[in-house]
Structure 1
Amino acid sequence: MQDPSRRVLLYTSVLCAGTGPLVYYLIQKGLSRTEYYQMALEQLHGHPEALEALGSPLRVHHLPMLSRDHFVDITDARLKIPISGPKAKGHLLTRSTRSAPFKRWTLQEVVLELGDGQRIPVFTPGEQGT
C-alpha cells in the first residue's frame, strides 16, 4: 500500500497541472469577449484591403499572456492580436479608450501589421463605423 503523503502529493500535482491550462483558457476566452477586442476584429472583417492581404479564411490566434505588447487598465486597452490567413500572417494592433469605468470603449486605432513589415491602417478616429 502507498504512503498517504505520496497519494496527496500525486493528487495535488494532477490538480495543479490541470488548473494552469484551465486558467489560461479562461483568461483567453474572457479577453476574446471584451468590447475592445470584438470592435477591432469587426473593423478587420470590414476592411477589404486587409482581408485581401491575409486571404480567407482568417484565423485569430491566442494572445501571448506575458507579452509587453498588451496593456489593459480601467480606461486604456492596447493589444497585439496574432492573426493569419492563407496568404500572410501578422498582428492586429489595437488601441481603445473609455472616459470612465463602466462606460463604452471607443476604438482609437486598428492597424494590421504583416510579417513582411507592411502596415495597413484598418481604422483611425473619424472614420465611420465606430
Structure 2
Amino acid sequence: MRQVPLFPVLRTLGLVFWLSLPLIGLSFWLGSSFIGEQILSRGYDHKKYLQADSQMAWQMKKKIMAIEVETLPHKGISFVSVKTNHSTLKTMIFEFAIVEPRKLEAKLAQELGLSPERVKALIRYQPDNQ
C-alpha cells in the first residue's frame, strides 16, 4: 500500500496561504486598535473660537424688517414671526408664554439684541382669529 505524501498535497491546496491569512488579519486588527487609541486619546487644543452670537446680533440689528405677533390669550401664548432681509435667514419664528405686550416687547428686545424703541417701531399685532 502506497502512502500519499501529505506536505505536497497541502501545498497544492494553498494551505500555507490560508493558514497565514488569520495571522495577517490579527496583526492588522491589533495594529489599528493601537493606532486608533493613540489618536483618540490625544488632546486637541484649538485657539480659534467661533463668535457667531455677537456678529449675528450686530448684523440682525440692521436687517430686521418687520415683527408680526399673534397672541392667543385663552392659551397664554404668543407666536412671533421676525422677517429679515438677510440673504440666508428670511424668517425667524418664536413662541413665548407671554401675552402682555409690554413684557413681550421686552423679551423680544432681549432675544434679538435690539433696543425696546426699535422693537416698538417694528412690531405689528395681529388680532386673535377665534
TM-score per shorter chain, which class? under 0.3
- Alignment TM-score, normalising by the size of structure 2: 0.27
- Alignment TM-score, normalising by the size of structure 1: 0.27
Higher strand content, 1 or 2: 1
Q: Which has the higher contact order (CA 8 A, sep 6+)?
A: 2
> Which has the larger Rg?
2
Higher helix content, 1 or 2: 2
